[in-house]
Structure 1
């Protein structure tokens, strides 16, 4: 039995499939027509973008392959001519230090080709400022440098021979701005006392009940601490990490039992490991030598 073949069926199906493509091209053309750019401008921008990316990639490849500096320099300049050069700087997370100091350093890179910016060297320059613990710098193509600052956190106020500074947990001295010195912050006093801040923190951590009551810590003779409490008393501690911690812990125990602070004693001397001494305000009715008395055996 003969089979009839309908002519034109394949052609019709092909024509049917072609319609959506034509519609898609029409919608794309209509969208492009609404843009505020001519076709020539868009083609030029695309060309510049492609050339810039190729130049930037060429610089990275040259650096990776160790090509001569002249080649790298020429590729970097080509990237700059394609529009990949520093035009804007964005500084983030600056709260305590003067932000203008950061901009003075970073803006020296303005109008430089993006590949020519040495991010690591720029970071080293910024971290020379005492307030900056770290700086994370990145390129945001085509023309922006992002500078993310990590500032140091002040832990105490340091006084030395009339000079007042802030210090962080590492003992780094920080130049304060007006209004930055909080009267509630711990004060440390003495020559190079800032370099002993870690030891002081460890000492105070040994007696956490007393820590909030300590107003000032004086580094005496580059060998030991005197602690001053908010109630006015001075506690003299012995030399040596272990002895000073043991003395402070013992004082905290005695204060917990007998409430030594705020009772009129002006000076507690625990430098002798065997005995504790206290001094009361001078009384006109008693000789001056009676002001110092033995308080308790340890």
Structure 2
């Protein structure tokens, strides 16, 4: 017991001296000798504790942190370990610290999945900033909006902001296609497509107008194929063959009808998939 107490005191003194040496910028050899002394008295990495992971696979975090096992606690480069962990796709923030005498603790703040991005036939999970998190297995797609097209993931923050203009439409949303790297086609769960104009302000204004018209005339779920609001003065509807368009009069836009598409439209998920810009 006396030996254990002596070893503990030596380790504490070594840690204190290491801190002093770091503060005053003493030679690295002094650091090494103090670190080795601390390790000999039990102050070396024996355990790794990862906290804060939920949806992500924490195995890569352990792989990085376990690379420090059996190293003196004083020789662990916390900044380097933290940097390597922060580079993992799921990690939004990481903090690594020592819990003396033998544990390296990693605190993780995960990124939150916000949408699925489809491009060139591949599905990937992305967060609200458009950061790619991991591939999505076909058939096991989470209940998140589907963003389609080249660079659609990079537009995810702008699309989320766009939908905030008309929050009443959020529960009806299936996904959206980023068309020509300049504007959105919005797809609803009931199968309709809404073509929005270019530009954030014009697109938001059109979406607000559509939400107003839908609230007044219950447009969604009535079998209409497509709404086109790219022209700020017009509201164009495309009806299936043989179907009568709803009677709509609007003081802000001229309501017109387009000829029906030649073929029966695909179901909503199929329609979105067919419009992959890859």
> Which interval holds the TM-score relative to the shorter structure?
0.7 to 0.9
Task: Write the mapping of 1:281-292 to structure 2, written as runs, cut at 5 A.
Answer: 281-283=240-242
2:199 to 240, 262, 286: 240
2: CA distance, partners of 1:225 / 1:231: 18
2:66 to 87, 99, 107: 107
1:162 aligns with 2:101: no
Aligned partner of 1:135 in structure 2 is 94
Structure with greater Cα Rg: 1
1:229 aligns with 2:156: no
Contact 1:278–1:295 (CA<8 Å) still a contact in 2? no
Aligned partner of 1:149 in structure 2 is 108
Report SS of the residue matched to 1:175: strand
Aligned residues: 250
Aligned partner of 1:198 in structure 2 is 157
Give, in angstroms, the shift of residue 93 of structure 1: 2.2
- Per-residue CA deviations over 1:258-278 (Å, capped at 9, x if unaligned) read 111111210000001111111
Query: How large is the RMSD of aligned CA atoms in angstroms?
Result: 2.1
User: Does the C-alpha gap of structure 1 residues 125 and 184 become closer, same or farther in structure 2, counting only changes over 3 Å?
Assistant: same
Report SS of the residue matched to 1:218: strand
Contact 2:123–2:138 (CA<8 Å) still a contact in 1? no
2: CA distance, partners of 1:177 / 1:245: 30
TM superposition score normalised by structure 1: 0.79
Give, in angstroms, the shift of residue 112 of structure 1: 0.4
Report SS of the residue matched to 1:246: helix
1: CA distance, partners of 2:140 / 2:23: 49
2: CA distance, partners of 1:137 / 1:170: 24
Give, in angstroms, the shift of residue 48 of structure 1: 0.2
2:214 to 255, 265, 269: 255
1:97 aligns with 2:56: yes
Aligned partner of 2:28 in structure 1 is 69
Contact 1:166–1:175 (CA<8 Å) still a contact in 2? yes
Contact 2:123–2:136 (CA<8 Å) still a contact in 1? no
Q: Which has the higher contact order (CA 8 A, sep 6+)?
A: 2
Contact 1:160–1:189 (CA<8 Å) still a contact in 2? yes
Aligned partner of 1:208 in structure 2 is 167
Aligned partner of 1:123 in structure 2 is 82
1: CA distance, partners of 2:108 / 2:125: 19
Report SS of the residue matched to 2:186: strand
Give, in angstroms, the shift of residue 148 of structure 1: 1.6
Aligned partner of 2:268 in structure 1 is none
2: CA distance, partners of 1:240 / 1:282: 32
Contact 2:145–2:173 (CA<8 Å) still a contact in 1? yes
2: CA distance, partners of 1:80 / 1:179: 50
Which one has a larger percent helix, Structure 1 or Structure 2? 1
2: CA distance, partners of 1:106 / 1:46: 29
Contact 1:153–1:168 (CA<8 Å) still a contact in 2? yes
TM superposition score normalised by structure 2: 0.85
